[in-house]
Amino acid sequence: MNRTLPALLFAATLHAQSVATIESYTNFLSGLLGVHLTSQQRDTIRTQVQTYWRERNQEAMGIVNNSAQTWDQYRDQPAELLDTTFRMMRSTTLAGLQKAARAGAADSDYLLDLYYQSNPILAPGKPDGLPLTRDMVEADLAIKHWYASEIHRQPVPAPDAKVIQAALAAAIRHHPTLSGTAQVEMAKQSGEWARIRYSWPKASPIDKLISRRDLGARLTPQEEAAVQQVVAGFTAQINGMASQHRNTMFQSAMDNFKQNTDTIMGRGTVWNPATNRWEQQGGIVTEYNGVVRVP
């Protein structure tokens, strides 16, 4: 009997497992960064992972294995849910990659380059912050529009190209003056908007009313009575679950929204029915004809 055969079979099995793990890890990275990876880029990542194993880098190997297992477990979930989850994780991922890159990790630096090739930097970030990209500004505007139109139910027009360009110009000027923490908070807007965009249409009418009340919107007497009836009928356990449900869906987004409107955009961009236009309250005000003024 050939005694080398079992060893060869084991090596072949191990190689097949390694190939599958690297493939799953690479797919996970692609989703996490929101980047379609070319075959050459996949080869580079494969080489990086093989280096981890060759150098017995236990920490990096653990990350690869955990990421691959996560991808294998959730890859068959609906595409919209996967995309939302990845977007919610993205700012934290970018901050971690940046920290590692600044410490000399070439692999993290490579992944950051891949991301910013697809998402050009509009304004630099602080060492402990993140650069400004277009999706951050568009998400910030989208949240404000949702807050006005869905929470306060104002007849607010969606920001058009002129409004978006003015907001981009203002953000480009203002982003370098923010603290690193505020820059990271601004980067979270993309994930928070993804959360709202996914969750809000799926919320029940009564959950929407409760969220509006919690966020300071005015309810009609009939709506307030309906909310009070539902809340009064909850047991302590159900009440706690509903609170957790609402927090998971909306409170993080709104806390982040309120913080950003204060620290980044003054007291927020709102639709003023009296002037029939979007107006920015506090901070550096950009009129949407391109004029910048400080109140």
Which of 86, 82, 85, 65 lies closest to 23 in space, CA to CA?
65
Greater confidence (100 vs 293) lies with: 100
Q: pLDDT category, 263, cuts 50, 70, 90?
A: very low
According to the per-residue pLDDT averaged within each range, which of 5-14, 214-223, 225-234, 283-292 is highest? 214-223
Of the pLDDT bands very low, low, confident and very high (cuts 50, 70, 90), residue 234 is low
Distance (Å, whole) CA 46 – CA 167? 40
Cβ neighbours for 89, distance < 8 A, ≥ 6 positions apart: 32, 191
For the cut 80, the answer to whether the pLDDT of residue 114 exceeds it is: yes
Name the 3-class secondary structure at 99: helix
Are 131 and 125 in contact, with CB atoms under 8 Å apart? yes
Strands of the chain (E only): list them.
269-272, 277-280, 285-286, 292-293
Decide if pLDDT at 137 tops 90: yes
Residue 219 token pair: 């309810």
Give the pLDDT band of residue 238 (cuts 50, 70, 90): low
Residues 63-83 have pLDDT tens digits of 999 999 999 999 999 999 999
Which one has a higher pLDDT value, 249 or 193? Answer: 193
Task: Say how far residue 201 (Cα) sits from the centre of its chain.
Answer: 18
Higher pLDDT pick, 69 / 15: 69
* Segments making up each domain of the chain, as ranges: 1-116, 119-295
Q: Which residue has the higher pLDDT, 252 or 124?
A: 124
What pTM, to 2 d.p., does this model score?
A: 0.74
Q: What are phi and psi of 290, to 5 degrees?
A: 95, -5
Evaluate if residue 142 carries a pLDDT over 90.
Answer: yes
Residue 27 has pLDDT above 80, yes or no: yes
Higher pLDDT, 249 or 185: 185
From CA 189, how far away is CA 36, in angstroms rounded? 22
Q: How far apart are CA 146 and CA 257, in angstroms?
A: 11
Considering the chain, what percentage of its residues have pLDDT values greater than 70? 73
Residue 53's pLDDT band (cuts 50, 70, 90): confident
Average pLDDT, the chain: 80
pLDDT at residue 229, as a whole number: 86
- Does residue 125 register a pLDDT over 70? yes
Q: What is the Cα–Cα distance from 289 to 292, expressed in whole angstroms?
A: 9
Q: Which of 110-119, 160-169, 195-204, 254-263 is least confident?
A: 254-263
